[in-house]
Structure 1
């Protein structure tokens, strides 16, 4: 298992498809995009923004139930992709022992964000489906600022007419 972090929820253009983007925390910082549904994207977004509804959403209710049963969500693992579908697991500690529950990654991530549980991706999953991050531009901030200052020194109001 490899620790990952949630970069965020995005909408992929032009298809208008929501996705979550996970990033390897150490090493190569590979990215793992996972396409999800709109309601699931909203559930994750609300949790990231700290929006508390007047009545609990399904994920809030599920975490309350886990807590009331004396259990805890220890971690979430995105395990594999089969036939273009991602799979995940909830790792829960309960009074009668540890439990592993299969679920959709979007639901697992929505729960993890709400309770602060760590996220992981399977080694093989990242090896096969992880994407290398885009290369950073060579220019550093000082060069960019110098170029902008040069531009400001040479620009005239008439240039914008």
Structure 2
């Protein structure tokens, strides 16, 4: 099991679809690309930026219901890749687990600031060790105060995606 962090959210120019990049916080620091829908990407980005809307989004409403029953989300886990579809689970207190789409699970995790983990088998199958140009496209989490602003980071990542091809994400 590896702890993950959201490093970027951008648009895949080949598929004209948002792609979420998760990276191991330690170990081999592999990157897991997850293609998501536009509404899901919007929810993830709003959670990343801590934007509060006047009314709760669906995942926020569900969290409010869970909290109303005195339960607590402890972590999000990416559990498998089956038929090119990632699967995740929400792990609540008392080891209660609920199946979820990765995009929804990540939005929830970001909203309540809980860890995101990925099974080693998922990373072994779908993560890439290094994506050409990715280091230039995103800021390193260990950078000092000279780190670029988030908007600069997003712009570098968009430039990277404009020149990337699906083969850049092929783990083989």
Pick aligned residue for 1:109 from 106, 111, 118 = 106
Instruction: Give SS of 1:132's match.
Output: coil
C-alpha distance in structure 2 between counterparts of 1:134 and 1:125, whole Å: 17
Instruction: Give SS of 1:67's match.
Output: helix
C-alpha distance in structure 1 between counterparts of 2:49 and 2:83, whole Å: 32
Q: Which runs of 5+ in 1 are unaligned?
A: 138-161
Give the match for residue 116 of structure 2: 119
Deviations 1:85-119 (A, max 9, x none): 110010001xxx32011110000000000000100
> Runs of 4 or more off by more than 3 Å in structure 1?
134-137
C-alpha distance in structure 1 between counterparts of 2:39 and 2:85, whole Å: 17
Give the match for residue 84 of structure 1: 84
Give the match for residue 131 of structure 1: 128
Pick aligned residue for 1:98 from 88, 95, 110 = 95
Aligned residues: 134
- The structural deviation recorded for 1:134 is 3.5
Give the match for residue 49 of structure 1: 49
- The structural deviation recorded for 1:60 is 1.1
Larger gyration radius, structure 1 or structure 2: 1
- The structural deviation recorded for 1:127 is 1.1
C-alpha distance in structure 2 between counterparts of 1:79 and 1:4, whole Å: 13
C-alpha distance in structure 2 between counterparts of 1:58 and 1:121, whole Å: 24
TM-score calculated relative to the size of structure 1: 0.79
Q: What is the root-mean-square deviation of aligned Cα atoms in Å? A: 1.4
Q: Which runs of 5+ in 2 are unaligned?
A: 137-172
Alpha carbons of structure 1 residues 14 and 128: separation in structure 2 relative to 1, 3 Å: closer
C-alpha distance in structure 1 between counterparts of 2:116 and 2:68, whole Å: 23
Instruction: Give SS of 1:128's match.
Output: helix
